[in-house]
Copies of this chain bind each other. A is one copy, B any other.
């Protein structure tokens, strides 16, 4: 027997309708790519998005068509998302940080019919367009006055495209499970794979993220999304902010410390979200210039592990509460967030800091457990670590066009590729990537745990731990160290430093010193490259295995 409630599909347009009706004059402020600050509001964004949707429909865009964006966070990028989906299309976010060949692969794989592109990225696309077979039209996200000389096919200024239609347009009617957004993830192996969000998943995720224990965005907030719309769905802020009528501040292309600081202060931002590297630039700028923050109350930090010192600095020096978050493109993307349980708020600060340095607790709609290699569930004791698997309405069940095959286990859980602990309260801590964990005698050793301790040594700049083949134990840890300029430390110093801080059987069998540990664009240590460099390394007392390791 079915309930008798209305059929009201969860569509992202309804979020924008809500914002326009109930927070119509709330501002969206953008640092324009052209230079000046621009100001608009939810009512105008709503009107322009409908205008765009109508123009796209007139140009033959149909339900399910993919239209790409290669753009910074601006109001025009936001309108593009709503205009594209309002015409029934799928916004496809291209990440400008990818290599040209990846961009080509992705745009062709997605069969993008248009690309909405910021002035910044026009030169990139000019070089690639010969290979972008499906793209019919390039929409430059600017007005006629700033339109560059460009050889891009059928190039048109965004503001000119908007003039092709009025806003008398009814959003295309769709099933709530219809495709809404597309974002590719690039694994370390194989081709990038497309995560295909539905209208339903985007709306449900935004609702969950608004909870008081998650981002807690309110109408009284002003949010600065520094996390880019071109990566991981901008942590849902493009949907959750209008859902509650929040003022938005869009940083455009300038993410340096000074630019971010000025926006925070000028626009009285209360909440923001970014990766650690961006916050580092902000903190350095504030420290160098002895600045304070007058309105910022909360920041979400994610994308990679956040150093406890950063959390402490924000909270103690600037009175800004830090929420460490964890997510993935495949999770829409928020999985966990580090808001403390009521009782943990009563602990001494350094205990709080320890908990806050974990990745936080799952939001509603993210079921989570950890499994051993045989798929058996491990205890939630904060100690056992295993494959982190997740299930929920805003989590991938597969990739676009079936790439990667079936990605769910027999219970419908998705394997995140991370290795983590869970404790009885639900706090999750990533201990490793599954491919980096070291398997020694059937047991697991966390490379990240050892690295985190090793960088605590005063002479160490960066530390990496990888598994080296071992004739008896299968794998044993090798600690690789890049010393600080001018600093000195021996193999024995470092091993001594680790003693007592980790289990005896976790102790690295060897230490190697290098001039530079390779680090990727998002600050992650490139272990694939390290493993290649050290593939012939022979651990002390493991000579019998050298041949094996050298294969």
Interface residues of A (CB under 8 A from B): 1-8, 10, 14-15, 17-18, 21-24, 63-64, 90, 175, 177-180, 195-201, 204, 207-208, 210-213, 216-221, 243-245, 332, 339, 341-342, 345, 361-362, 364-365, 367, 391-400, 408, 412, 414, 424-426
Given contacts A22-B361, A364-B15, A392-B8, are A3 and B179 in contact (CB under 8 A)? Answer: yes
Residues of B with C-beta under 8 A to A63: 1
**Would you give the shortest CB distance from A5 to chain B, in whole angstroms?**
4
Q: Output the nearest chain B residue to A65 by Cβ-Cβ distance.
A: B1
Q: How far is the CA of A21 from the CA of B393 in the complex (A)?
A: 18
Q: A18-B364, A364-B207 are in contact. Are A5 and B395 (CB under 8 A)?
A: yes
Most B Cβ at <10 Å: residue of A10, A15, A391: A10
Interchain CB contact under 8 A, A339 and B219: yes
Task: For the complex, give the distance between the alpha carbons of A361 and B396 in Å.
Answer: 34
Across the interface, which residues of B come within 8 angstroms of A195, CB to CB? 4
Q: Which of A22, A90, A201, A244 has the most B CB atoms < 10 Å from its CB?
A: A22
Q: How far is the CA of A208 from the CA of B332 in the complex (A)?
A: 19
Contacts of A398 in B (CB 8 A): 4
User: In the bound complex, do residue A208 and residue B207 qualify as a contact, i.e. CB atoms below 8 Å apart?
Assistant: yes
Q: Are A4 and B196 in contact (CB under 8 A)?
A: yes
> What residues of chain B lie closer than 8 Å to A220, measured between beta carbons?
341-342, 345
Q: In the complex, what distance in Å separates the CA atom of A17 from the CA atom of B362?
A: 12
Question: Complex: how many Å from CA A473 to CA B391?
Answer: 64
- Chain B residues within 8 Å of A219, by CB: 213, 339, 341-342
Contact B397 A4 (CB under 8 A): yes
Q: Contacts A22-B425, A212-B244: A2 and B362 contacting too (C-beta < 8 A)?
A: no
| The one of B2, B18, B332, B412 that contacts A177, using a Cβ cutoff of 8 Å | B2
Count copies of this chain in the complex. 2
**15 residue pairs A–B, Cβ–Cβ below 8 Å:** A1-B179, A3-B177, A3-B179, A3-B198, A4-B399, A5-B200, A5-B394, A5-B395, A6-B408, A14-B367, A17-B367, A24-B424, A211-B218, A213-B245, A220-B345
Chain B residues in 8 Å Cβ range of A21: 426
A2 touches B424 (CB 8 A): no
Q: List, in ascending order, chain B residues with CB within 8 A of A23's CB.
A: 341, 425-426
Question: By the criterion CB–CB under 8 Å, are B396 and A4 in contact?
Answer: yes
Tell which of B1, B212, B341 touches A210, judged by Cβ atoms closer than 8 Å. Answer: B212
A408 surroundings in chain B (CB, below 8 A)? 6
Q: Which of A8, A218, A396, A400: most chain B Cβ within 10 A? A: A8
* Chain B residues whose C-beta falls within 8 Å of the C-beta of A198 in the assembled complex: 2-5
Q: How far is the CA of A188 from the CA of B4 in the complex (A)?
A: 22
- Residues of chain B lying within 8 A (CB to CB) of residue A396: 4-6
Given A1-B64, A63-B1 in contact, is the A216-B208 Cβ separation under 8 Å?
no
Q: Which of B175, B179, B364 contacts A243 (CB under 8 A)?
A: B364
Task: Return the chain B residue nearest A412 by Cβ.
Answer: B6
Given contacts A3-B198, A3-B199, 5 further A-B contacts (CB under 8 A): A3-B196, A6-B393, A6-B397, A22-B361, A210-B212
Give the chain B neighbours of A4 by CB distance below 8 A: 179, 195-196, 198, 396-400
What residues of B have a CB within 8 angstroms of the CB of A64 in the complex?
1
Nearest neighbor of A21 in chain B, beta-carbon distance: B426
* CA–CA, A212 and B341, complex, Å: 17
**Interchain CB contact under 8 A, A8 and B393:** yes
Complex CA distance for A207 and B393, rounded to whole angstroms: 14
Residues of B within 8 A of A10 (CB): 204, 393
Known interface pairs A207-B207, A207-B208, A220-B342; A397-B5 also in contact (CB < 8 Å): yes
- A6 contact set on B, CB distance < 8 A: 391-397, 408, 412, 414
Chain B residues with Cβ under 8 A from A345's Cβ?
Answer: 220
Q: What chain B residues lie within 8 Å of A175 (beta carbons)? A: 2
Report B-chain residues with C-beta under 8 Å of the C-beta of A361: 22
Contacts of A339 in B (CB 8 A): 218-219
User: What's the least CB distance linking A410 to chain B, in Å?
Assistant: 14
Closest to A368 in B: B21
Q: Please name all residues of chain B whose beta carbon is closer than 8 Å to the beta carbon of A213 when the two chains form the complex.
A: 218-219, 244-245
Q: Out of B22, B393, B395, name the residue touching A426 (CB < 8 Å).
A: B22
Query: Least Cβ distance of A16 to chain B in Å?
Result: 12
B3 and A200 contacting across the interface, CB-CB below 8 Å: yes
A393 touches B5 (CB 8 A): yes
- With both beta carbons as reference points, the residue of chain B lying nearest to A196 in the complex is identified as B4
User: Does the CB pair A391–B8 fall under 8 Å?
Assistant: yes
**A197 proximity list for chain B (CB < 8 A):** 3, 5
What residues of chain B lie closer than 8 Å to A397, measured between beta carbons?
4-7
